[in-house]
Structure 1
Amino acid sequence: MPDTGQSFRFAPTPQEIETLALEALSRLPEPFRSYLSNVVMLVEDFADADILKEMEIDDPFGLTGLYSGRPFGQEAQTGDLPPTVHLFRRPLLDEWVETGVPLEALITHVVVHEIGHHFGLSDIDMHVLEDMVAP
């Protein structure tokens, strides 16, 4: 397996993926961090079939992360679920093995991209932010 900066004897568990994701969040600069206290982080093996269908993705390995919820600055409505970053463990692990990108860097990339959706950032802004928090 590629070097991740961490030693994994077996495929990382959802809890280990979550730990890496939370570490990535902790490296975000202010004011981003202070606005993320209500964002939920979920690690699941795959996106469910409804999400894949809605996004017109045929291969469940084709989606590594997803942001769901109202973007930052939009007023919450009664019944809204909290904003959530979903990380899909099996596609992340496949991409890690296929690309050789360190797992911590890959998870950071996905987390920053999904958090970028929460804040309404452009792709360029997301790349700048990712460079700032790279492990």
Structure 2
Amino acid sequence: MSRAQFEEIVSDALEDIPKDLLDQIHNVAIVVEDEPPVDWQARGWDGHEHSAADGRSELLGLYTGIPLTQRGDFYGFGGATPDTIQIFAGPLSRISRDAADLRHQIHTTVIHEVGHYFGIDDARLHQLGWS
């Protein structure tokens, strides 16, 4: 799948978010990267992971920022930098069986990371079927 096609699927996933929720997303950069940072586990980042058949964890997406539920009254007054949602093309492609599965995995990962922006933790995302 080309990079443009991959990014289009990410965009489609965002369009599937209900408008009332989408309207609440502000100051978030959503980017597609080829691979996650090499040292992501050492940094303690918590993203959307998948355990490969060989037991390795693949980081599929990562939300970096302050979730809406943790922002104080003065958040943003000092010119807050954008939160970031990174979607990793390499790992998503590796875990997918075919193009349809890749589309599903991208969609799930985008929704999962947007859920983190709204303050939803991994356990709840799992309960909701977004893990």
TM-score by length of 1: 0.70
CA-based RMSD of the aligned residues comes to 3.0
Deviation at 1:18, TM superposition (A): 1.9
> SS of the counterpart of 1:112?
helix
Do residues 49 (structure 1) and 38 (structure 2) align?
yes
- Over 3 Å counting, the alpha-carbon distance change for 1:43 and 1:115 in structure 2 is same
Determine if contact 2:112/2:125 at 8 Å carries over to the other structure. no
**Residue in 1 aligned with 2:109?**
110
Select the structure that is richer in strand.
Answer: 2
Do residues 70 (structure 1) and 66 (structure 2) align?
yes
TM-score by length of 2: 0.72
Deviation at 1:90, TM superposition (A): 0.4
Of 74-83 and 32-41, the range deviating more from structure 2 = 74-83
Q: How does 1:1-135 map to 2 (within 5 A)?
A: 11-13=1-3, 15-55=4-44, 62-73=58-69, 74=71, 75-76=75-76, 78=78, 80-97=80-97, 102-122=101-121, 123-124=123-124, 128=128
d(CA) in 2 for partners of 1:127 and 1:12?
32
Select the structure that is richer in helix.
Answer: 1
Deviation at 1:36, TM superposition (A): 1.9
Deviation at 1:49, TM superposition (A): 2.6
Deviation at 1:111, TM superposition (A): 0.7
Determine if contact 1:64/1:92 at 8 Å carries over to the other structure. yes
Unaligned runs of 5+ in 1: 1-10, 131-135
Equivalent pairs counted in the alignment come to 117
Of 115-124 and 81-90, the range deviating more from structure 2 = 115-124
Determine if contact 1:96/1:106 at 8 Å carries over to the other structure. yes
**Residue in 2 aligned with 1:3?**
none
